[in-house]
Amino acid sequence: MIRMSGKDSFKVLEKIFKPKNKSNKIKGYTIKYGNIVENGEIVDEVLVSYFKAPKSYTTEDMCEINSHGGNIIVRKILELCLQNGAELAEPGEFTKRAFLNGRIDLLQAESVIDVIHAKSEREAKTGIKQLEGILSKKIAEIKQNILDVMVNIEVAIDYPEYDVDEVTHQQIMEMLDQVEEKLAKLEKSFDNGKLIKDGIKTAIIGKPNAGKSSLLNAILKEERAIVTEYEGTTRDTIEEFVTIHGIPLKIIDTAGIRQAKDEVEKIGIAKSKEIAKEADLIIAILDSTKEITHEDREILELAKSKNTIIVLNKIDLKSILKSDNMQLQKVTKHIINLSALNGIGLENLYDEICKLFQLNEINLDNETVITNIRHKNLISKAIENVKKTKETIKNEMPLDIVAIFIKEVLEDLGNITGELVSEDIINEIFAKFCLGK
């Protein structure tokens, strides 16, 4: 598909497209059937969709030529467009125009990238919510709160004879506290947002023969799992990104876990320790047909300080280790029975992960989550500036000084939605897009 946007896009189209039905004038949200022609010769039979300004993605006149596809034909049509006055778009240019023309704010534009690159349903959903403007509304609300503070201050500055300083100071403090609280909540949501975006970094640890590779294979074999492999951060590891029932997991696999068939090669405690260090989630797997061994205890010790789920494996056999075991209970309340060999109990494992990371739908739907590090940094900066503002008030600085810091907060928030953002940053953001978006 070839997409054109801009006030001359229909003119360019007219030169190369001969619709079958010539009589109708151009209407928005319609599709015409016809041929792309060059010197009277048909290049391809196409459908063209029309979007009339301002009701289009970019708010400009837009059209989309749907050809039969294939490199040669699409390239040919693109060339014809260029020869007849069109210019090649830069990466992200359509979305950039939508932003510059004021249809969406910067935050929404950035979420377009998130939606496109989403690796899991949950991530896509978060992106869509941001695209809908949920986060933008939240930021707008906080900005309004700050503006209210400004109004109070300006009244005090403009009418000093009323001696409103006392009252105003206290009022302003309270308002700033509220703003800080809202911002802090957003800042904190980043942790959750990051998990959704990057996947929960998961380490499967356990002594040799506990069933690590069997469990990993069982997870990866899940019908709907989409597996993408990344090079891991530790030497010899790869990370496998899987999404199971919308739960994004990034499982740290050592050069070993999946392949280690050979007894000698099996992943030992030392390696487990290394893997566990960088994990958000530890799945500590124990062989339920055996008593807890010294090695198990070392594994459990590792797991104590982390988000851990204990898996009692091999329940298809006669198990002697039960979930009410006190030694296990001391480590975590999240203990499940499972058979990696035949997949029994996997659902419970997923449920437990959802619980541990509060990933259920209700949480996601009600929370405004930030996933973008640029937004996170600006929010942190805004919080700093709110703190500074409060400091100046505490130190009874003149209100015009206080106002300076408040303006900084407004600026930080404005940078998120893009009202105040510099051209460099805008270019940097849109450079991340792919062509045609």
Interface residue list for ligand GDP (CB under 6 A): 206, 208-214, 260, 266, 313-314, 316-317, 339-341
Q: Which is nearer to ligand GDP, 253 or 412 (CB)?
A: 253
Position 158, amino acid: D
As measured in angstroms, the least distance from the Cβ of 245 to ligand GDP is 21
Q: Which helix (H) or strand (E) holds 307?
A: strand 307-313
As measured in angstroms, the least distance from the Cβ of 288 to ligand GDP is 9
As measured in angstroms, the least distance from the Cβ of 319 to ligand GDP is 10
Rg of the Cα trace of the chain?
A: 29
As measured in angstroms, the least distance from the Cβ of 233 to ligand GDP is 21
As measured in angstroms, the least distance from the Cβ of 341 to ligand GDP is 3
As measured in angstroms, the least distance from the Cβ of 317 to ligand GDP is 5
Q: Which is nearer to ligand GDP, 185 or 221 (CB)?
A: 221
Give the chain's count of helices (H) and strands (E): 16, 12
Compute CA distances 245 → 114, 122, 207, whole Å: 19, 9, 28
Q: Which is nearer to ligand GDP, 120 or 339 (CB)?
A: 339
Compute CA distances 328 → 201, 222, 302, 304, 322, whole Å: 22, 28, 13, 10, 9
Q: Measure the CA–CA gap between 48 and 36, rounded to whole angstroms.
A: 10
Q: Which helix (H) or strand (E) holds 5?
A: strand 2-5
Q: Which is nearer to ligand GDP, 310 or 386 (CB)?
A: 310
As measured in angstroms, the least distance from the Cβ of 334 to ligand GDP is 19
User: Going along 115-223, which residue ranges are E strands?
Assistant: 200-205
As measured in angstroms, the least distance from the Cβ of 207 to ligand GDP is 7
Peptide bond into 160 cis (omega under 30): no
Position 101, amino acid: N
Q: Measure the CA–CA gap between 154 and 284, rounded to whole angstroms.
A: 59
Q: Which is nearer to ligand GDP, 37 or 292 (CB)?
A: 292
Three-state DSSP class for residue 228: strand
Q: Are 333 and 340 in contact (CB under 8 A)?
A: no
As measured in angstroms, the least distance from the Cβ of 119 to ligand GDP is 26
User: Going along 133-227, which residue ranges are E strands?
Assistant: 200-205
Count Cβ atoms within 10 A of the Cβ of residue 279 and give its class: 0-12 exposed, 13-18 middle, 19 or more buried.
Answer: buried
The crossing angle, in degrees rounded to 10, of helices 121-132 and 106-117 is 160
Three-state DSSP class for residue 131: helix
Q: Are 376 and 370 in contact (CB under 8 A)?
A: yes
Three-state DSSP class for residue 297: helix
